[in-house]
């Protein structure tokens, strides 16, 4: 299948592109930044999702389109409400319109568990608005969709906007982790590669016009997660909890508002949270010490560097 992926150069989008290519699809990535993970069998278009002509050209001939582009961080969206409306809402409508004109068979959208919540600020507003536009494109023009409501993702290629990446990096660099909320905050972390595999599976016919929840299966309190990271690092790590009620993040559950009901999808095989975090530790350690490499759990000097 020919598939265009908006925002395919980002953390989640790049993993989905890998899995789509791995499943034999012909992938075109459209992103404002070139992908650092572009494979030889993928095509890269550098462009802005607000450029209607460029978006149309990228969508023409595609059978399926994914949209991961826009402002993905709650804090950033909080400080940039106009840009959040432009990239996340208007950008998505421009993409939907291009899909309608091109006769695309399936539109897949990266939403968030925050659509259920009163928290999440302008980020949540942009996801709720986008979901409504997608459902209305289905009603008015018959454009088939799948909305994926992702939970808290973690894994390779993340940066400081990602909670687990930031916790590990702060622990390694400063020996201290700061958290905006309370240790009792509950999260279901899901490995990005597990979520990416499910994101490809939803192209199957039974997922047309459905809203799917993609979160983890191992609920964990943030306080316990930080203890786990410290234990894995085998060194003393200080934790500081701000207990900030205005951070825009939820405490125990995101569910307080009910848009279209979503079904939870569980990957057949999941990455164990402990092992997934161990890989994040190795990745961050490598970034901080490029002269070392990991071998069977040990860090050794890389003779090639």
| Contact yes or no for 188/151 (Cβ under 8 A) | yes
Task: For residue 116, state whether it binds ligand NAD (rule: CB under 6 A).
Answer: no
Rg (CA), the chain: 20
Binding status of residue 69 toward ligand NAD by CB under 6 A: yes
| Range 134-153, binding ligand NAD (CB under 6 A) | 150, 152-153
Does residue 33 touch ligand NAD according to CB under 6 A?
yes
Q: Does 87 bind ligand NAD (CB under 6 A)?
A: yes
Does 7 interact with ligand NAD (rule: CB under 6 A)? yes
Q: Which stretch binds ligand NAD (CB under 6 A): 7-15, 57-65, 99-107, 196-204?
A: 7-15
CB of 300 to ligand NAD, least distance (A): 31
Q: Which is nearer to ligand NAD, 70 or 121 (CB)?
A: 70
Binding ligand NAD (rule: CB under 6 A), the pick from 64, 72, 197, 280 is 72
Q: Which position among 48, 56, 60, 209 is part of the footprint of ligand NAD (CB under 6 A)?
A: 48
Alpha-carbon distance of 193 to 12, in angstroms, equals: 8
**Count of other CB atoms within 10 angstroms of residue 59:** 26
We find the least distance from the C-beta atom of residue 155 to ligand NAD, in angstroms, to be 10
How many residues does this entry show for the chain? 305
Kindly tell me which residue out of 1, 2, 26, 32 binds ligand NAD, with binding defined by CB under 6 A: 32
The single-letter DSSP state of residue 181 is S
For CA atoms 68, 11, 254, 144, the dihedral sign is: positive
Residues 6+ positions from 104 with CB-CB distance below 8 Å: 59, 62, 63, 64, 65, 143
* Residue among 49, 94, 185, 277 that touches ligand NAD (CB under 6 A): 49
Tell me the pairing of strands 292-295 and 298-301: antiparallel
Report the alpha-carbon distance of residue 302 to residue 305 in Å, rounded.
6
Q: Please report whether residue 70 would count as binding ligand NAD according to CB under 6 A.
A: yes
In whole angstroms, what is the distance from residue 162 CA to residue 253 CA? 19
Looking at the Cβ atoms of 73 and 302, the one nearer to ligand NAD is 73
Q: Is 233 in the site for ligand NAD (CB under 6 A)?
A: no
Instruction: Provide the minimum distance between the beta carbon of 35 and ligand NAD in the complex, in angstroms, as a whole number.
Output: 8
239 DSSP β-pair partners: 177
Angle between helices 163-174 and 273-288 (to 10 degrees): 50
Element (H, E) at 67: strand 64-67
Of the residues 3, 89, 108, 110, which one makes contact with ligand NAD according to CB under 6 A: 110
Nearest to 110 by CA among 72, 68, 81, 143: 68
| 11 touching ligand NAD, by CB under 6 A | yes
Which residues are at the interface with ligand NAD (CB under 6 A)?
A: 7, 9-13, 31-33, 48-50, 68-70, 72, 87, 91, 110, 112, 150, 152-153
């Amino acid at each position: 299948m020919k598939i265009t992926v908006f925002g395919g150069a980002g953390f989640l989008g790049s993993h989905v592109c890998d899995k789509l290519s791995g499943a034999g699809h012909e992938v075109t990535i459209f992103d404002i930044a070139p992908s650092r993970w572009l494979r030889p069998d993928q095509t890269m278009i550098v462009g802005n999702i607000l450029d209607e002509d460029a978006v149309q050209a990228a969508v023409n001939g595609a059978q399926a389109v994914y949209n991961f582009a826009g402002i993905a961080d709650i804090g950033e969206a909080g400080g940039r409400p106009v840009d959040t409306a432009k990239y996340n809402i208007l950008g998505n409508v421009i993409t939907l319109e291009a899909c309608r004109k091109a006769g695309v068979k399936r539109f897949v959208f990266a939403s968030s568990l925050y659509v259920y919540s009163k928290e999440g600020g302008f980020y949540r507003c942009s996801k709720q608005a986008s979901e409504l536009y997608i459902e209305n494109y289905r009603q008015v023009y018959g454009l088939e969709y799948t909305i994926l409501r992702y939970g808290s993702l973690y894994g390779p290629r993340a940066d400081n906007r990602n909670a687990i990446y930031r916790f590990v990096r702060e622990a390694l660099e400063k020996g201290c982790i700061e958290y905006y909320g309370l240790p009792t905050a509950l999260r279901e972390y899901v490995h990005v590669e597990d979520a990416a595999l499910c994101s490809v599976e939803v192209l199957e016919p039974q997922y047309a016009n459905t809203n799917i929840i993609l979160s983890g299966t191992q609920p964990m309190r943030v306080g316990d997660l930080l203890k786990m990271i410290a234990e894995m690092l085998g060194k003393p790590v200080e934790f500081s909890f701000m207990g900030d009620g205005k951070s825009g993040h939820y405490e125990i559950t995101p569910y307080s508002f009910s848009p279209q009901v979503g079904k939870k999808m569980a990957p057949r095989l999941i990455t164990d949270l402990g092992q997934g975090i161990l890989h994040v530790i190795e990745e961050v350690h490598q970034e901080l010490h490029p002269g070392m490499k990991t071998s069977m759990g040990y860090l050794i000097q890389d003779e090639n560097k």
